[in-house]
Each structure stands twice: as structure tokens, then as C-alpha cells.
Structure 1
Amino acid sequence: MSANEIDISDEQRVLLSRMSGVEKAALLMLSLKEDDAAQIFRHLDPKHVQRLGVMMSSASDFSPDKVGAVHRLFVEDIQRFTNIGVGVQDFVRNALVAALGEDKASRLVDQIAAGAGARGLDSLKWMDARQVASLIQNEHPQIQTIVLAYLEPEQSAEILHQFPEPVRLDLIMRVAELEEVQPAALQELNDIMEKQFAGQSGVQSAKMGGLKAAASIMNYLDTAVEGALMDAIRDQDEEMSMKIQDLMFVFENLIDLDDKGIQLLLREVTNDVLQRALKGADDMLKDKFFRNMSKRAAEMLQEDMEVMGPVRVSEVEVAQKEILAIARRLADEGELSLSKGPGDDYV
């Protein structure tokens, strides 16, 4: 072994094998100065910040052996991939595993690999919302509509937010009315994208858009924007607004989750977010959350809610949106089913 190599003992490797990726990342973050940890947090997705933050706040085992094992593993990984360009894929994967755990890291690595060769319309999935909005702002509204219907609702909501209010109204109503896109239209859009990204992309007709797609996009908009847009849709087409509203999944619909779903959600939501969100919930929904917590945890939460006093409606809405975003992510991962009633799943 050279002087620069890190020696990880068998005992330390056993300790590491018993820790999840998030536990290792949390312990490493807690070893840093606050400013350094903050710099890392700034480069993480909000949902990953939340998960890592929860793990950090609940960490209690700071034994020298465990801390030393995590530090040695980190240094070993850094030394293994010191040269830029050498072992990059393994480095990215190991870093993601350390932050997110094996399962989620593997899925993300696959997505990144797919995105590296993305062309045409698919290339937009890997762009910032502002970039996409800038790219399509001068295109025909029908092209803009196809883009919004094609991309994930969360990304489409961010893109929609970049347009002025009258354009938002026109586009969301077009999405709601869209049913199927013919090959010629998709090819036109891919040709536009290929002017920015080299390559060819064959297309077939595809079903996209519709009321459910519009409702999904609306779910991800800021509360104020969502409310103003829904009022505008109602003024233009009351029947459409009612249908979209019926398809939207709102915080009150969490009452339809089974106990297992509520418990899964509770493991992902921080206590302060839950406090603010439940401040604006009705008693039945509050009771459902309390019933799925330990007696002591429920009592502490209720006490904390009483002590915190009045909370601004805007803060309650932000907290509820955050929980809904977590619920949608869990639904996308197939871990729970969101529904607005029997037989009406929203996944």
C-alpha cells in the first residue's frame, strides 16, 4: 500500500455496510463547517435537501469508529477519482449513492445517461425552465402547447410561470383541449429542437395533453398563480374550469390516503413543514395524521402547533404544496396511490 492510499479496516467496512447512503452523507455533512455544508446544499435538489436535512437532524450516533469510517471512505473515493476525465461515470455514481442511496442513485444515473444522448424534444427535459421558455417563446402557441404537454408537469409548470398571464391562460386551455398530436406536428417540433441540438429523431403520433395534463401542471403552480389562472379559465370556459378542478389533487385529498400511505408520507416530511401545513387543515385530516403517529409524537406535534400561534395563510399554502410535491414523487415511484375517491387514482 502506498503512502497516499487510505486503509479502511474490515471493522470499518462492516460499519459502512450497515449504513444507508443518506446516513453516510448526513454524517459527512455534519463533519463540515456550516458554510461549507451550506455550499453543498445549494447544489442539491430541494427534495434531496429535505431528505438529507431530516437525516442530519435525527442523527445521534457519532462514535469515533463510525465517523472515521465515513471520512476514510470519502477520502478513498476522492483519491480514486482525482484525475478529471478518469473514472468520471463511477465517480458520479458513487457520489449519488452516497447522497441518495443505491436505488435512487441507480435510477438517476440511468436518466443522466439517457439525457446525455437526448435529441429533439427529449433534449428539453434536461434544460432549465427559463431556457426552455426562452427557446419556445417566439414559436406558434400550438408548438408551445405540445412542449408543455410532452414534458413532466412540474417542469411544465415552471416553464408556464415564465410567460405573462394572458399567455398562461391561452396555453393551459390549449393543453386541456389537446388530445392527440400527429406525426407532422411532432416532426416540426423535433426539427426546431434539432436546430439547437444535432441529430435526428423519428416520431409517431402520440396521445398527450388533455384535462388531466392541464390539472397536473396546475398542481405544480404557485398558489397565487394557480388561483388567478383558474379564475381566468372559469371566465373563459366554466365547464372546463370545473373539470380541471375536479382532476386536481389538493391537500385536502390526502384524507383519502390509507394509513400506510400517511405513514410513508410522515417519514418524508419534516416536522416544521407538517406543523405549518396542518395549521390550515380541517380536523378530520389533522386527526388522520395524528392517528398514524406514535402517541407521544402526536402530542408533541399538537403542542408545537399551539405554541407557534397564528401562521400566515401564504406560509400554510407553501407547506401544503411541499407535502403534495413529496406525495406526487412517492406516487411516481409507485410507493403510494393518490386518489380523489374510489377508483379514481391520480398517479
Structure 2
Amino acid sequence: MFDSAMDDEVYATISPETPQTIALILTYMIPNRASDVLVQFPTEKRNVIAQRIATMETMNQNTVEALLNEIQISLQSCLDQIMSNRRPQESIDGSVALAKMLAHTGDDAVEDILKSLENVEQADAVREAMFTFEDVVLIDDISVQKHILNLPSVRDNLAVAIKGMDEAIRDKFLSNMTDWMKNRVEKERQSLGKVRADVVREARKLILDEIRPLIESGQVQVERL
């Protein structure tokens, strides 16, 4: 795990490289440390790097290794330390990689980076990856009670959305409900029988589409580890 001094060293070492090379290196770092390095770049270059990350297509391990081998020898010591702290990835998804970094970045920088992406679809893909249905467990109980459970999408779709979910995620909703509401959801869930995966995904998407604006507006906080 890098300390702040190591983040500065990584920045100093990779800053002369091209945005594409920097983007590749950052995707191989632990997300919160990659975020610390990314925000050190001047705004314009930072946004270009973020764009490169967001548009990085999924690559297999052989492709990644080939690209890393092309990086200058001067980076090797830095890369060795990065790779020793990161499990090898089978693939890279740019939107997910950038989302993980932005989850540890200040709100102002996040909005600036998202606005700098070249099209709405890219920004939407990153936003969606920044908060998934599993991340509901990171919302504090008071916010769940006050905001989340009152959303129309939760009232209408929760029984379907929690089908097949881990117990911790189901309990995040159910443990914050009144007994009456909990019984209603449980009865509905048990009466559903087998539900198609695409129906479950759509139910979760409808809920996430209402939760994300609450997070973006600051009404609901996500406590990242």
C-alpha cells in the first residue's frame, strides 16, 4: 500500500509520459491511490487522462502486458512497486476503472472530470459504475430510512430487486423498514417465484436511477472503505 510520499513519487515519475500511458498505469493501481495521483495533474491534463481511462476498451492480459513492455525503462522501478501491490487483472474496463478512482476523489474534481468527457454516454457509464446496487450497504441507516425507502422505485420494485441478493444487502433495506413494510415486501418477494434475470436487473436499475441523484446532490452520503 502506498503512503502519500509514494503517491508523489509515482506522479513525478509518470507525469512526463503520454496521457495514454499514464491512464494504463493508473488502472493498475489501487483505486484510492490512483485517485490521489490523478488529482495532482493540472486540470487540463487530468481531464485528458480521465478521458483515456474512460474510453479504454476491455483488454486481455496479453495485450496489457505487451503495452506495459513498451513503457520506458525509467518507469520500471515505479511499475514494479505498483504491480507488487496490485493483483494482475484479466481485463480492463475503462468506465469501471475511472469510476473506482473517482469514488475516492473530491466532488468538485469528479464533476469537472465527468463534464470533460467527450460524450454523454461515457459520462453516464462512469456514473453508473460509481454506484452499484451492492453499494447500498455503504449508505448509513438514517439516510436509508429518510430517503431511500421513500423512493417510488423502492416501493414498487424492491421485492424484485432483492431477489438473489446477498443477505447483507437485503438486510440493509429490511432492517430499516417498519414491521408493516417489511412484512409486505417479504410476502411479495416470496410470492414472486422464479423471476427472469433481466427483470431483476431492470428493477435494480429503476432504483439506482433514483438513488444516484440523491448522492450527487449530497442528500445521501456513501461511506467508501
TM-score (norm 1): 0.37
- Structure 1 gaps, min length 5: 1-111, 113-123, 296-312, 327-347
2:74 aligned with 1:192, yes or no?
A: yes
- Paired position in structure 1 for 2:128: 246
In the aligned structure 2, how far is the partner of 1:229 from the partner of 1:197?
25
Q: Is the 8 A contact 2:10 2:37 kept in 1?
A: yes
2:16 aligned with 1:151, yes or no?
A: no
Q: Is the 8 A contact 1:172 1:214 kept in 2?
A: yes
- Paired position in structure 2 for 1:292: 175
* Counterpart AA for 1:223: D
Residues 1-23 of structure 1: per-residue CA shift (max 9 Å, x gap) = xxxxxxxxxxxxxxxxxxxxxxx
Look up the SS of the partner of 1:211 in the other structure: helix
In the aligned structure 2, how far is the partner of 1:292 from the partner of 1:162?
41
- Paired position in structure 2 for 1:177: 55
* Counterpart AA for 2:94: G
The change in CA–CA distance for 1:182 and 1:279 in structure 2 (over 3 A counts) is closer
Residues 11-54 of structure 1: per-residue CA shift (max 9 Å, x gap) = xxxxxxxxxxxxxxxxxxxxxxxxxxxxxxxxxxxxxxxxxxxx
Q: Is the 8 A contact 2:95 2:125 kept in 1?
A: yes
Look up the SS of the partner of 1:194 in the other structure: helix
Shift of 1:161: 1.0
- Structure 1 residue ranges, 4+ long, deviating more than 4 angstroms after superposition: 124-127, 195-199, 285-291, 316-319
The change in CA–CA distance for 1:156 and 1:319 in structure 2 (over 3 A counts) is farther
Shift of 1:150: 0.9
- Structure 2 gaps, min length 5: 155-170, 179-213
Match of 1:164 among 31, 42, 51: 42
- Paired position in structure 2 for 1:12: none
Q: Is the 8 A contact 2:11 2:37 kept in 1?
A: yes
TM-score (norm 2): 0.54
Q: How does 1:102-121 map to 2 (within 5 A)?
A: none
* Counterpart AA for 1:284: L
2:106 aligned with 1:222, yes or no?
A: yes
Q: How does 1:33-182 map to 2 (within 5 A)?
A: 128-179=6-57, 180=59, 181-182=63-64
- Paired position in structure 2 for 1:306: none
- Paired position in structure 1 for 2:221: 320
Identity %: 18
Residues 150-178 of structure 1: per-residue CA shift (max 9 Å, x gap) = 11221111111111221121111111222
In the aligned structure 2, how far is the partner of 1:134 from the partner of 1:184?
24
Residues 167-197 of structure 1: per-residue CA shift (max 9 Å, x gap) = 1211111112223344442123372333669
2:96 aligned with 1:212, yes or no?
A: yes
Q: Is the 8 A contact 2:144 2:176 kept in 1?
A: no
